[in-house]
Amino acid sequence: MLKQGDQAPNFSVKAHNGETVSLSDYSGKHVILWFYPKADTPGCTIEGKGFCDSIKEFNQESTVILGVSFDDVASNKAFADKFSFPYLLLCDTERMIGQAYGAGSEGLAKRISYLIGPDQTIVKAYDDVDYNTHPQDVLNDITN
């Protein structure tokens, strides 16, 4: 995993809505990059809905939420649409983001996250994520 102070690797990948997204698109904002194992599974749904429930607070803190899995566009689109997620789900089908960020290169993505600062350095790495509390934990780290 990357650690605090490391430069966050840039990436360019398709999101669930078909647009191409790069980390550099969000320079000047905080970014939460949360890796989840598989779209529309119980733990991933709880975590995703947790971020959704706090979206106003994240927006007030100029924080962008980007979910990442190894799922394809169709799977992530169905997941985002089913739960009306107001943020992008990135489709790392080539596992390039996962490999660069230590979330795995085979099988399912590990359940880890990063808080990336406006200067695109790692503010905090979360390697022991509890999907029930993680969205609030990250929000607390941003606001404190």
H or E segment at 33?
Answer: strand 30-35
User: What spatial distance separates the first Cα and last Cα of the chain, rounded to whole Å?
Assistant: 24
| Strand partners of residue 30 | 63
Annotation marks residue 52 as catalytic: no
* Marked catalytic residue, from 44, 66, 109, 115: 44
List the helix and strand counts (H, then E) for the chain. 5, 7
CB neighbour class for 25 (10 Å; exposed up to 12, middle 13-18, buried from 19): middle
Catalytic residue numbers, as ranges: 44
